[in-house]
Amino acid sequence: MAGRTAKTTKAAKPRASSTARTRVKASPKSKSAVKVKATVKKTPVKKNTTKKAVIKKAVAKKAGVKKIVVKKVSARAKVAVKAKAPAPKTPNKKASVKKIPARKSSVKTGGRVKAVDKVVAAARTVKRAAAAQASPENAKILSELADLAKYIRAAKREIAAIRPDDVKDEYLPKAADELDAVVEATADATNSIMDACEVVEGVMSDVSPEVSAKLMDVTTRIYEACTFQDITGQRIGKVITTMKHIEECIDALIGAFGARGRGAKKKTAQHQASAPRQGDGKNITDADLLEGPQLGANAKSQAEIDDLFANFD
């Protein structure tokens, strides 16, 4: 589950960005291209035939540009541009795109900025910067950002639909309580069985050796069978550990996508609308009555049932 969650959130993470002045891709290819650029600088090459220029022309042609005019920029002008201070933060001007910080798994909610919101904010910054400069590369970036936004919205909707806060706050704790009750019940039953076996062992000396041997054999087999309780207890323990891990994953999911609140409120509203009314008994169906064994204080003893029964007479 953790792996799937991680993959989902990693898939939503946009590629690392670079400054507006350099090529926006951060792939190994472009890194080597940067290296090539550095070496190209040292050797005197005509401006029109630099690798950068060639790539730009190819991209422009692909995008359908019919005429390419090569700007002649003096080396002095280039140095002056590079020496400029970092671009201002106002949205419409050329801005150096901030590197999107690594996603921190956020478990905290309730007022704090969620991880996915940070991604969305960073994506908006990139979008504004890209929109400020019309170019084929930026068009591609804008298109990818639009896809990313769609993906995040769809993921948020799907996560909210499974109501992760209900799963965490209601279903998982209930399941854990039921499993604890299973372990306790089997332990009680095993002890009762062994109590009975010990009584049988106690009377073995009062019977013939033949019968005594048979009783010994039978009680031994009962003790052997009782070891099931240890195994089932351990297996249930593993299930509870798995459930705790699922709970942590759900916490991380809620923290990243902020899918808390809506589901619970919806469910509460639905529950209130459809809950059988206590007292008049008119709305209670047979299906509503099937809840299985109760836990703890909710479980009525036989004596309490007998009292209730007697009250109907």
* Binding region for another protein (CB under 8 A): 187, 190-191, 194, 197-198, 201, 216, 219-220, 223-224, 226-231, 233-234
> 138 or 219, CB closer to another protein?
219
Residues 147, 150, 152: CA angle, nearest 5 degrees: 110
Question: In the bound complex, what is the minimum distance in angstroms from residue 285's beta carbon to another protein?
Answer: 41
> 188 or 306, CB closer to another protein?
188
The CA-atom distances, in angstroms, between 250 and each of 2, 66, 172, 178, 246 are: 9, 53, 11, 20, 6
Question: In the bound complex, what is the minimum distance in angstroms from residue 302's beta carbon to another protein?
Answer: 25
Q: Is 295 helix (H, G, I), strand (E, B) or coil?
A: coil
Question: In the bound complex, what is the minimum distance in angstroms from residue 296's beta carbon to another protein?
Answer: 21
> 59 or 182, CB closer to another protein?
182
> 169 or 201, CB closer to another protein?
201
> 81 or 216, CB closer to another protein?
216
Cα pseudo-dihedral 170, 171, 173, 177, rounded to 10: 120
How many helices (DSSP H) and strands (DSSP E) are in the chain?
Answer: 13, 0
Structure tokens that stand for 35 in this block = 């290296």
> 192 or 268, CB closer to another protein?
192
The CA-atom distances, in angstroms, between 159 and each of 88, 110, 150, 259 are: 38, 17, 14, 7
Question: In the bound complex, what is the minimum distance in angstroms from residue 221's beta carbon to another protein?
Answer: 8
Residues whose CB falls within 8 Å of the CB of residue 67, separated by 6 or more in sequence, listed in order: none
Residues 41, 42, 48: CA angle, nearest 5 degrees: 45
Structure tokens that stand for 51 in this block = 């690798």
Residue type for position 27: S
Burial 128-150 (b: 16+ CB within 10 A, else e): ebbeeeeebbbeebeeebeebee
> 17 or 229, CB closer to another protein?
229
